[in-house]
Chain A
Amino acid sequence: MELENNQTGQPFLKEYSYDLGVLDRGYTNRTLYINVGSYKIKEKPVTPLMKDKFIGGKGFGLYYLWQAVTESTKWNDPENEIIISSGPVGGITQYPGSGKSLVVTLSPLTNMPIDSNAGGYFGPFLKFAGFDAIELQGKADKDVIIFIDGNKGTISIEEAHGETSDTHILGGQLTEKYADNEEDRRNIAVISTGSGAEHTNIGLLNFTFYDVRRKGIRLKQAGRGGIGTVFRDKHIKAVVIKFAGVKGNLNHPVDQLTLNKTGIKLHKEIHDLDNAQNRMRKIGTANIIEVMDQYDLLPTHNYKFGAHKDTFKIASDVFISKVTQNSPDGCWHGCSMACAKAADHFELKTGPYKGQKVTIDGPEYENAAGLGSNCGIFDPDAILELNFYCDTYGIDTISYATLTAFVMECYENGILNQERTGGLELNFGNTEASLELLHQMSQGVGFGKIAGLGIRKMKAYLAKEFGADPQFLFDIGMEQKGLEFSEYLPKESLAQQGGYGLTNKGPQHDEAWLIFMDMVNNQIPTFEDKAEALHYYPMFRTWFGLNGLCKLPWNDIAPADNKLTDEPAKIPEHVQNYVDIFNAVTGKAIDKHELIRQSERVYNFQRIFNIRMGFGKRVHDKLPYRAMGPVTVEEYVSRQERYDKQLTELLDYDTTGKSTEEKIKVMRDYRESQYEKLTDAVYKRRGWTMDGVPTVEKLRELEMDLPELLEVVEKNM
């Protein structure tokens, strides 16, 4: 029977009631399954195996996705799922960065599992509403909104009517619609995407939270891998959750006092030291823009260069003057790091919302570097406008920026021209053309439709349609495994090349960011040192994603005496904080070594999942040469002194009288061989074969010798 929803006046397609349940030691011990195609809703128990081996967060996401798909499932098949989960520590209010939602799906860019995390209130609210995870499967035949009332214990699937899908409008409308009154808006969290996700492969998910000071919604993004594209392909317009009554003990931790004390210790550290360290409270991640430029690491003109004379125009101080200061800008309660900055009352100059005054979440470093320098754009207002439209259209800023930089290089090389782009003059630095490309993506028209396919598919298109040289496209197209690179120039850091290349989900910096350790501080000189770092850091950082935690409060603030510790790069005191809060919530007794093993189990599971889907081997870990060294004469000449010196000192190669092309070739052979040696060392350290397959022995050692994993591994030996 179709019931009328009193609150919204919309017809229910399905209504479901559940017992609120009990949250104990970080787990509700129950997950929620919704099929938007059949409207089936059911509750599933969380098993001891799930908790012991997968912990939560992306561990639960990968576990459920494995069961949902087969090796032939494509991202747009109904059986593909989007799984959202927080993790056992997620939702505590005392320790900075404890509100993350981890999202897992089969990616339209990589055709294998992607995981991406977002702030905002959804993950914690889901847990307080009674579920450790939500699985969204199936494909609706009309747009639907899912509404979970975590206080009443009701779930409804409702037909969506009329609303635009662009998040700055839809998120606000739904927050207002489902809140009882203004005071209640803080209890609403919305997941949605935007019109761009309907027409591109780089759609993201926006997670809202209501900012009680600004009296409006704020947006945080699960950006990477096209999750928003899957969301809209399922015809889900939004998932709305309501939970009133957040307190500091809802996880029912075994040791509340330790949570309080550990949180206060870090709050005080941030209060005392942040301004002298990273200024995260002032400008968030954008604090490093000029630092990256200074070290020749700021991607410029599609990663050709690492610095630009105009970087000062988009330096952090410029953005400090544009974002509202002294506001508690955390994306979950208790985040005193407060990096979620926002520029308020920004008047848009282009697009469908031209003239509107909006709040822009950002800029993040990635946005400034990607939308800015990498595309040759050094106008802070243009970066903010691009940032805004990417967010509201539901487009991943990183993929958008990196693919636009690629398009711009193709344009300047003549692979593209005005005729082929439908009139867009996509030279580096053309702000208007970049914005127009973005607006086209939101409508699925013009060259925006082609660009929105992502770099990998665009490369095939450019080779096929215009006869472009596939090798050159491979060299300059900054994607690997189908995912666009994030915004760091890894050419001079072999370890960071590994940090991008030897990853589960493609070249992002969620797994490892080793540039400073390697290139600037020279702390990991040998292959073995680099391999150890490329084991430890990806595993350590994976752990955040199992627990609903943010990486930033780990090392974007450091204790005053951190430099005196034996391993300053690990921030040992903060590692112990994580051990302490995990044990305080769950009642378990892990130490810093077991923490790494927890991650190793899930990391190896994800690797084997990739192999099961036909990827995840050595061949898939190769990098485009632009990530490793100078592709073009222009690049080589721009840093000739450095490269000539390296050839002389490292290879004993006499550069006298040699052409640049000859030197590029010798340099390339050398650097590619270095990357292969690094790959050998890393696979060995991780317990994998030289083809990148986890060994049976490794799985046994980790107690992950599950039959379904052994089957895949043995088939691929």
Chain B
Amino acid sequence: MKLLAKNDSLCIGCGECEEACSKTYFKEVNQEKSCIRIKDKTINVCTQCGECIDVCSVAAISRDKNGIVRINKKICVGCFMCVGFCPELAMKMHGDLLEPFKCVACGQCSKVCPTHAIYISEEA
């Protein structure tokens, strides 16, 4: 299963990953629109555990063939139950957006991380 793995002890809190993420998905530098968040050198990001899949009443969340948990924005009704029920607090909401957003392990952030604190893991 593919996911963005992390090693908190290597994090220096530089915020490069947050910038890369929000630029990739929202074309702006905005920590509040990053799927990965750094606070006190602790990395908060989706583990692809999939608990949100069963919480969604409209079945807008599913796991793709690579094991990534994805939101179908077309079906999503913006209830944000998945945000409140995420055990990792890694499902995000922003007031500009009608749907929640989350890490899909694209790896863009890991490319800019200077300490390799985050990396794409494809372990079973």
Contact = CB atoms under 8 A, between A and B. Distances in A.
B77 A334 contact: yes
Contacts of B14: none
A333 interface: yes
Nearest to A336: B81
Given A266-B84, A270-B84, A213 B77 contact: no
B78 A94 contact: yes
Sort chain B's interface into a size bin.
10 to 19
B55 interface: yes
Nearest to A209: B57
A22 interface: no
A260 B80 contact: yes
Nearest to B54: A326
A328 B77 contact: no
B83 interface: yes
Interface in B79-114: 79-81, 83-85, 93, 95, 98-99
Nearest to B99: A248
Contact of A267 (B58, B77, B85, B99): B85
A257 B69 CA distance: 25
B79 A248 contact: yes
Contacts of A271: 84-85
B5 interface: no
Interface string A324-365: 001110100111100000000000000000000000000000
Nearest to A256: B95
Given A248-B78, A260-B95, A267 B83 contact: yes
Q: Most chain-A Cβ atoms within 10 A of its Cβ — which of B79, B83, B85, B93?
A: B79
A336 B95 contact: no
B59 interface: yes
B98 A264 contact: no
Contact of A330 (B57, B59, B84, B95): B57
A328 B55 contact: yes
A93 B81 CA distance: 9
B117 interface: no
A626 to B, nearest CB: 42
A247 interface: yes
Contacts of A490: none
Contacts of B95: 256-257, 260
B56 interface: yes
Interface string B47-59: 0000000111111
A341 to B, nearest CB: 14
B84 A249 contact: no
A212 B98 CA distance: 21
A94 to B, nearest CB: 6
Nearest to B78: A248
B93 A186 contact: no
B81 A334 contact: yes
A-B CB proximity, top 5 nearest: A267-B84, A248-B78, A334-B79, A257-B95, A328-B57
Given A212-B57, A248-B79, A330-B57, 6 more contacts: A93-B77, A248-B80, A263-B80, A263-B84, A271-B85, A336-B81
Interface of B: 54-59, 77-81, 83-85, 93, 95, 98-99
Interface of A: 93-94, 186, 212-213, 246-249, 256-257, 260-261, 263-271, 326-328, 330, 333-336
